[in-house]
Amino acid sequence: MPPCANCARETEILILDDEPIVCKRLKPAFQKAGYAVETFNDSASALTRVEEKRFDIVITDLKMEGADGMVFLSRVKELYPETGIIVITGFATSETAKESFRKGAFDFVAKPFKLGDILDAVRRFEESRKKD
């Protein structure tokens, strides 16, 4: 179990993607790697959840029905500046990448991606937290 930077509990991850397959595959992969995972297919319920609970890491798609991923990203940053945000998107333009970094995303992963890519991004975030 990878402990979070400052305490002994599991790192908690929220995943939001309107494509069910992404959640379906990421959840077991992260659980296997020792993380606690919650997944959401729509941004409304994900928003409700982050209002209730702080996650260490949020992984979100950018382009979705309803509230845009960018709105969700901004809200999470507003609530928890410490939370690491990793953006995954199928529309990988340098513009969207720039904007998500500007809004405080830690990393940017273009779809389709390898499981290893996103696990690496999460670990890099944990490493950076340890250094701080």
Partner 1 sequence: MDIVCGLKKFFTLFRSSSQPVLPFTVLFKKFRSILERNNLILELMADMGDKLGGEYIFDSQFVVDSTGRISDLVFKLISDLCVMTQSEIVDLFVAFERIQFQIQEELAGRRAVPVTKPVLLLDELNGDFSEEAGNKFANLGEIRNTLDLPTMDGFVVTTRSFFDFMEANGLFKHIEKGLAELDLADESILEAFCEEVRRRILSGTMPRHIVSAIHAALDIICGRNRANTLRFAVRSSAWGEDSEFSFAGQYESVLNVPRKGVIDAWREVAASVYTPEALRYRLHRGYRESETAMAVGCQLMVEAEVSGAMYTYAPVAAETEAMVISAAWGLGEAVVSGTAESDTIFLDRLPPHRVLSIEAGHKASKIIGEQNGGTAWVDVPEELQDAACLSGEYIQRLAQTAAMIERYYRRPQDVEWAIDRQGNLFILQSRPLNVKPTQPELHRPHIDNAALSAQALFSGKGTVVQGGVASGTVYVTATDDDLKDFPFGAILVAHHTSPKYSRIMRKARAILTDIGSATGHMATLAREYRVPTVVDTGIATKVLKTGDVVTLDAIRNVVYAGTVKELSQFEITQEEVFEETYEYRMLKRVLKKVTPLNLVDPNSEIFRAARCQTFHDITRFVHEKAVESLIDLSENYQRYHDKGSKRLKYPIPLDLTIIDIGKGTSALPEAKSLTLEQVTSTPMKALLEGLIESRMWETAPVAVDMGSFMSSFSRTFSSTMARPEDVGRNLAVVSDTYMNLHLRLGYHFSILDSYIGEEINDNYIYFRFLGGVSTVERRSRRAKFIADVMVGFDFLAEIHGDLIVGRLKKLSRERMVGRMKVLGGLIGYTRQLDVNMTSDERIDFHLADFMQRIHVLKEVRDDAPMCELRPGNRDFDSRR
* Token pair 């890519």: residue: 117
Find out whether 54 and 75 touch, Cβ atoms under 8 Å: no
**Residue 90, C-beta contacts closer than 8 angstroms, at least 6 positions apart:** 61, 63, 110, 111, 112
Find out whether 108 and 97 touch, Cβ atoms under 8 Å: yes
Is residue 42 close enough to count as binding partner 1 by CB under 8 A? no
Total binding residues toward partner 1, as defined by CB under 8 A: 14
CB of 31 to partner 1, least distance (A): 15
CB of 18 to partner 1, least distance (A): 9
Which parts of 74-103 interact with partner 1 (CB under 8 A)?
Answer: 90
Find out whether 55 and 30 touch, Cβ atoms under 8 Å: no
Span of 64-72, 77-85, 115-123, 124-132 interacting with partner 1 by CB under 8 A: 115-123
Is residue 62 close enough to count as binding partner 1 by CB under 8 A? no
Footprint of partner 1 on this chain (CB under 8 A)?
19, 21-22, 24-26, 90, 111-116, 118
